[in-house]
Homo-oligomer: A and B are copies of this chain.
Amino acid sequence: MTLLAADPPEQAADGVRVHYAELIDFTTAVFAAHGVPRARAHAAARALCHGDLTGMESHGLANLTRLYLPLFAEGRVEPRADPRVLADRGAAVLLDAGRALGLWSAGAAMDLAADRAESYGIGMVSVRGATHFGCAGHHALRAVERGMIGLVAANCGGQRIARPPGGAVPMLGTNPLSVAAPAGPHPPFVLDMSTTAAPTGRVRRAAREGRTVPAGLLADDAGRAVTDPAEFDAGRAHLLWLGGAAGQYKGFGLGLAVEVLAALVAGAGLGPLGETGRDDDIGFVTVAIAPDTLHDRTPADAAALFGALLDCPPAEPGEPVRYPGWHEHERARERMRDGVPLGRDLYGELYEVAVRTGVAVPEQR
């Protein structure tokens, strides 16, 4: 075990780097210690550490103490729940997750969707009674590993964060959406976005780090732009939809489309109707499409499509064009090699969790 106190001060101030494998072992052990069966705990650990590995830290280990461990503590997640099949139409399956850990169940749902896509060309697994699944893109990528296209969307159960345009009270969650596709020799395409202008994790992270956020993410009751992220949790600013002050009717529509596809189809909790306002009874959907069951052109077409985008003449010399998923893939490659950077505060949190849970502290490199 390496304690923070033993670090040279300059390293501690910057944070530390930890082997990815160490981080997975640690996170697996924490979930297992909370009653999650080992193989599921490992899948959940991979999903959670995906955020830190790829640079989407707002959805990474920072959420262990803020989101997931409180779910266990409050009995809002059922560590050993087996999702139950409520309906099976071949290409479409409806599951009740029974509050299983979403970090695991979303991957399992995508695997099932991909199995069905092998037979039917497309497979959809709709899930109700779910809990927070972390980065949507991690689960969408499971389809890409099988040469398929993956789509993942979730609502936030009964949680209400964002207001309809022209509305005075929040009605929907940040409703994430991911679409991932193979790109031949290039990094996979992975769109992984909240349908709000930013996810709450990004706003809270900026607040913790004392940074401002760009205009277009937050507004006050009078509709004026707010750039101090601390105003969000203080209740003096609300999150806008994608498109910002001018174009957010489309972003709101996308958020509602996710509410429909992820929660209305599954029969899960719906934002405007939740009684607790909490992210319980989340609905999500995983869809896999297997283009090679339809024709054999996709691998070459995908390589050409994403290759052409990377070759697009840049507006600024030396700043090449990229697509969603490219930077995350490169970061993951670097961090697999050089270790995953963890801020000093985050490492301290994980250390506390390790001590409290009785598992090994992740070793620094």
Q: Which of A172-223 contact B (CB under 8 A)?
A: 179, 181, 189, 191, 193, 197, 214-216, 221, 223
Asked whether B92 lies within 8 Å of A297 as measured between CB atoms, the reply is no
Asked whether A216 lies within 8 Å of B322 as measured between CB atoms, the reply is no
Question: Do most interface residues of chain A lie in helix, strand or loop, or is the interface mixed?
Answer: mixed
Residue of chain B at shortest CB distance from A287: B122
A229 shortest CB reach to chain B, Å: 15
Asked whether B91 lies within 8 Å of A91 as measured between CB atoms, the reply is yes
Contacts A92-B120, A164-B312, A197-B247 given; indicate if A273 touches B86 (C-beta within 8 A): no
Residue of chain B at shortest CB distance from A194: B250
Q: How far is the CA of A264 from the CA of B64 in the complex (A)?
A: 37
Number of interface residues of A (CB under 8 A): 84
Query: Could you say which of A31-39, A102-110, A301-309, A357-365 contacts chain B?
Result: A301-309
Contacts A166-B316, A293-B87, A315-B168 given; indicate if A251 touches B242 (C-beta within 8 A): yes
Q: Which of A255-285 contact B (CB under 8 A)?
A: 256-257, 259-261, 264-267, 270, 272-273
Q: How far is the CA of A171 from the CA of B304 in the complex (A)?
A: 13
Asked whether A167 lies within 8 Å of B247 as measured between CB atoms, the reply is no
Contacts A122-B91, A168-B314, A261-B179 given; indicate if A250 touches B193 (C-beta within 8 A): yes
Q: Which of A291, A304, A319 has the most CB of B within 10 A?
A: A291
What are some 6 contacts across the A-B interface (CB < 8 A)? A94-B295, A171-B308, A214-B246, A242-B242, A244-B244, A249-B324
